[in-house]
């Protein structure tokens, strides 16, 4: 920053800190306080209690958490698998830039489409035979996969295009088949990007509401849907407690992925 | 496994490509027949025909964009020729994948596998060929010893210097015992002193591998002159000229070769004698100056030619600057002025092992480069000098476009 006066620098930093505090920290902080509040009538919450958090971890809501985790993991796996596959293929198609551009457009489309539209589209498409997915767990997984596929694809494809094509060619010249080159050279070198894509996908899936709320069957209610329902009923403190659990679990999953990613990057 | 592959290749000569010379001459390790490569409308290589014998090193020399790397990629199978055939040991491999060609390739940026240790890099090709583990270990050890990298077997490529990485890349390429080794600007990513050292090592390596055919792509003429048995000069996606280093250096057939290989100065001139087909000493007029030079091709009086003179072939004539000024005026040639050209020194560069002058020739509007040996008297910029050249050190080349 091109500010030389100490006071000016101080003022700028203070302003920035205040803005960040208001926009980012305040909602999180309030959620955190609300999760432990017995009542909140004044400026600060009163009668601290663990009742809401305990409720969030009790049988019914806990199953929501497990559902969320399972959905996020499966949806992310599917999205990363498809995204990586597509990214590797489109990076290999460097000779035909038209094809690569088409792949880019197709795989980025879901990111541009509102999640509600994705939900509605899936409901309309799969509510009648031959492919009847409405009311199944699969439709939730498919919806979330579709939404994060664009992010998985673009993360991996940026890395795949940055790869030196000579490395794979050198492997081929040494007598390795295409499959061997893919498994022993190209994919291992993409591992950090794949791990990053997986982390992003899980984080996005864990919080997905727009499409999920349209397609979820009663037996498969994710945590964000539960939170939404609680807010709808006016149970704000319970909602806050569930949000806190969601946040904690997401951060934990991301930490695990980051650990794997660190290991893969060191190699 | 490699040897059985070779046998089967020999047993089944390429159908549809009769080689009448095969009975007399040994088979070529590599042969390109009229190979062209184009990307869309861009022609990267145009009708290249080239044969490399076993045990021979051919350097593809040319400026960037001359098609030399594309030619190498066509041999390796990294590029599919749009027309023409590629043959290895007489077998057509134009449609074969790189994996099935069994060629060793070393590229400019080494292209080592960054996630594998040095020994795993060298073992990669052997594993792909499903060689028994014990043999792989022995071969990897031998290869690393050959390039002097046995102490770095457990390091990752990024823990090595550029020269060390290049050695590993060479060991990796040679581990599969290829019959053909392709090197694409292998030294250009190294700094000057390391490059000179690696050049010596490559020369030694070449001597250790008498049966391997090598194709060496470079834009550096000293690398080509050091390593190559024959040099193919490339320009604008075409083969300009091919011959031994000695041939190309002392008797270039074209102006481009004369200039690119050895940096000759080219003086436009008009022939005044008849030179028969076999070539002889020719006399020409460069501007108003009479010159004698080797004419390797037939020339008729009045024919336009170029006189090519290497920078180190010029000598400074002993004589006063005034005499030079006087010659500049008359110019009509009597015996004394043959191969003597007056000029004004434009710049002087000290290059350690001697001085390099740029001299503007008077009456010719040409600037020539002159390398003076160390310990000789050096004129100052602006001085008038007389340049001379021995007739056998000047050579005529056809007056083509440059």
Domain locations in chain A? 1-35, 51-266
Q: Where are the domains of chain B?
A: 2-103+178-250, 255-328+337-398
Candidates B80, B124, B136, partner chain A, best to mutate (most A CBs within 10 A) = B124
Least confident of B16-20, B214-218, B262-266: B16-20
Pair of tokens at residue B356? 């390099």
pLDDT value for B36: 92
pLDDT value for A263: 63
pTM over 0.90: no
B33: Cβ–Cβ under 8 A, 6 or more apart, which residues? B17, B49, B84, B85, B86, B87
pLDDT value for B21: 44
Interface check for A182 against chain B (CB to CB < 8 A): the answer is no
pLDDT value for B26: 53
* Alpha carbon distance B385, B319 (integer Å): 8
pLDDT value for A129: 78
| Model pLDDT for residues B43-84, shown as the tens digit of each residue | 889 989 999 998 899 999 998 888 899 999 999 999 889 999
Interface of B with A in 89-128 (CB under 8 A): 97-105, 107, 109, 111-115, 124-125, 128
CATH code 3.40.50.1100 for B2-103+178-250 = no
pLDDT average, residue stretch B382-393: 89
Q: What is the DSSP string of B271-340?
A: E-S-B-TT-EEEEEEETTEEEEEEE-S-B-TT-EEEEEE-GGG-EEPSS-HHHHHHHHHH----GGGTTE
| Partner residue facing B102 (CB), from A167, A175, A180 | A175
Q: Between chains, do B105 and A170 touch, taking CB under 8 Å as contact?
A: yes
Coil, strand, or helix at residue B117? Answer: coil
CATH code 2.170.190.11 for B255-328+337-398 = no
The answer to whether the CB of A259 falls within 8 A of the CB of A186 is no
With CA atoms as reference, the chain B residue closest to A179 would be B128
Considering the four listed CATH numbers 3.40.50.2300, 1.10.3720.10, 3.40.47.10, 1.10.287.3510, the one that applies to the domain covering A51-266 is 1.10.3720.10
| Partner residue facing B76 (CB), from A173, A175, A188 | A173
Q: Read off the pLDDT band of B181 (50, 70, 90).
A: very high
Candidates B37, B78, B155, partner chain A, best to mutate (most A CBs within 10 A) = B78
pLDDT value for A207: 86
Q: Between chains, do B103 and A171 touch, taking CB under 8 Å as contact?
A: no
| Model pLDDT for residues B121-140, shown as the tens digit of each residue | 999 999 998 999 999 999 99
* Alpha carbon distance B241, A222 (integer Å): 73
pLDDT average, residue stretch B260-282: 84
H or E element, residue A72: helix A59-92
Q: Residue B154: is its pLDDT beyond 60?
A: yes
With CA atoms as reference, the chain A residue closest to B111 would be A167
pLDDT average, residue stretch B144-151: 88
CA diameter of chain A: 74
Burial of B15 (0-12, 13-18, 19+ CB in 10 A): exposed
| Partner residue facing B109 (CB), from A166, A173, A188 | A166
pLDDT value for B332: 43
Interface check for A173 against chain B (CB to CB < 8 A): the answer is yes
Interface check for A124 against chain B (CB to CB < 8 A): the answer is no
| Partner residue facing B99 (CB), from A167, A177, A185 | A177
Q: Which residues of chain A have pLDDT under 50?
A: 266-267
| Partner residue facing B111 (CB), from A170, A188, A267 | A170
Comparison of pLDDT for B14 and B151, the residue scoring more: B151
| Model pLDDT for residues B334-377, shown as the tens digit of each residue | 444 688 888 999 999 888 888 899 999 888 888 999 998 877 78
Share of chain B above pLDDT 70, in %: 88
């Amino acid at each position: 920053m091109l500010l030389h006066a100490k006071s000016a620098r101080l003022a700028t930093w203070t302003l920035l800190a205040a803005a960040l505090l208001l926009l980012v920290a305040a909602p999180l902080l309030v959620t955190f306080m609300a999760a432990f509040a017995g009542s909140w009538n004044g400026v600060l919450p009163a009668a601290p209690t663990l009742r809401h958090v305990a409720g969030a971890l009790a049988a019914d809501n806990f199953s929501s958490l497990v559902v969320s985790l399972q959905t996020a993991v499966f949806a992310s796996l599917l999205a990363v698998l498809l995204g990586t596959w597509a990214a590797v293929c489109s990076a290999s198609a460097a000779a035909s830039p038209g094809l690569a551009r088409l792949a880019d457009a197709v795989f980025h489309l879901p990111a541009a489409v509102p999640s509600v539209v994705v939900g509605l589209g899936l409901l309309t498409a799969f509510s009648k035979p031959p492919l009847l997915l409405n009311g199944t767990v699969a439709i939730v997984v498919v919806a979330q996969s579709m939404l994060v596929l664009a992010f998985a694809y673009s993360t991996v494809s940026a890395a795949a295009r940055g790869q030196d094509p000579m490395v794979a060619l050198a492997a081929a010249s040494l007598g390795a088949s295409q499959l061997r080159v893919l498994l022993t050279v190209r994919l291992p070198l993409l591992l950090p990007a794949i791990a990053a894509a997986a982390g992003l996908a899980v984080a996005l899936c864990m919080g997905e509401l727009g499409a999920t709320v349209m397609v979820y069957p009663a037996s498969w209610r994710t945590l964000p849907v539960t939170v939404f329902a609680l807010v709808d009923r006016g149970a704000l403190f319970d909602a806050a407690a569930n949000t806190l659990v969601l946040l904690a679990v997401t951060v934990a999953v991301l930490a695990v992925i980051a650990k794997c990613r660190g290991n893969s990057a060191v190699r | 496994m490699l040897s059985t592959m070779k046998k089967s290749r020999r047993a089944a000569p390429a159908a549809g490509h009769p080689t009448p010379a095969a009975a007399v001459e040994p088979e070529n390790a590599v042969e390109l027949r009229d190979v062209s490569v184009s990307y869309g409308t861009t022609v990267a290589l145009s009708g290249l025909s080239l044969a490399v014998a076993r045990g021979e090193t051919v350097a593809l020399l040319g400026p960037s964009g001359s098609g030399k790397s594309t030619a190498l990629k066509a041999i390796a199978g990294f590029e599919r020729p749009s027309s023409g055939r590629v043959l290895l040991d007489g077998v057509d491999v134009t449609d074969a994948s790189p994996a099935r060609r069994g060629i060793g390739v070393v590229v400019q940026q080494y292209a080592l596998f960054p996630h594998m240790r040095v020994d795993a890099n060298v073992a990669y090709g052997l594993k792909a060929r499903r060689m028994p583990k014990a043999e792989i270990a022995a071969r990897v050890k031998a290869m690393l010893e050959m390039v002097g990298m046995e102490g770095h077997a457990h390091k990752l490529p990024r823990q090595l210097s550029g020269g060390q990485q290049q050695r590993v890349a060479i060991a990796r390429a040679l581990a599969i015992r290829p019959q053909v080794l392709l090197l694409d600007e292998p030294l250009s990513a190294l700094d000057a002193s390391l490059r000179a050292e690696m050049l010596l090592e490559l020369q030694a390596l070449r001597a250790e591998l008498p049966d391997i055919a090598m194709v060496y792509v470079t834009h550096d003429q000293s690398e080509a002159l050091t390593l190559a048995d024959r040099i193919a000069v490339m320009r604008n996606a075409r083969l300009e000229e091919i011959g031994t280093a000695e041939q190309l250096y002392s008797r270039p057939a074209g102006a481009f070769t004369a200039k690119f290989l050895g940096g000759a100065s080219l003086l436009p001139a008009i022939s005044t004698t008849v030179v028969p087909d076999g070539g002889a000493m020719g006399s020409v007029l460069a501007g108003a100056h009479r010159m004698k030079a080797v004419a390797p091709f037939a020339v008729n009086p009045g024919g336009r030619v170029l006189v090519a003179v290497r920078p180190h072939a010029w000598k400074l004539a002993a004589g006063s600057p005034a005499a030079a000024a006087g010659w500049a005026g008359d110019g009509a040639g009597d015996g004394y002025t043959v191969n003597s050209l007056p000029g004004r020194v434009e710049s002087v560069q000290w290059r350690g092992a001697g001085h390099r002058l740029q001299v503007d020739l008077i009456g010719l509007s040409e600037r020539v480069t002159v390398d003076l040996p160390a310990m000789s008297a050096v004129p100052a910029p602006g001085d008038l000098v007389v340049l001379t050249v021995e007739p056998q050190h000047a050579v005529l080349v056809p007056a083509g476009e440059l």
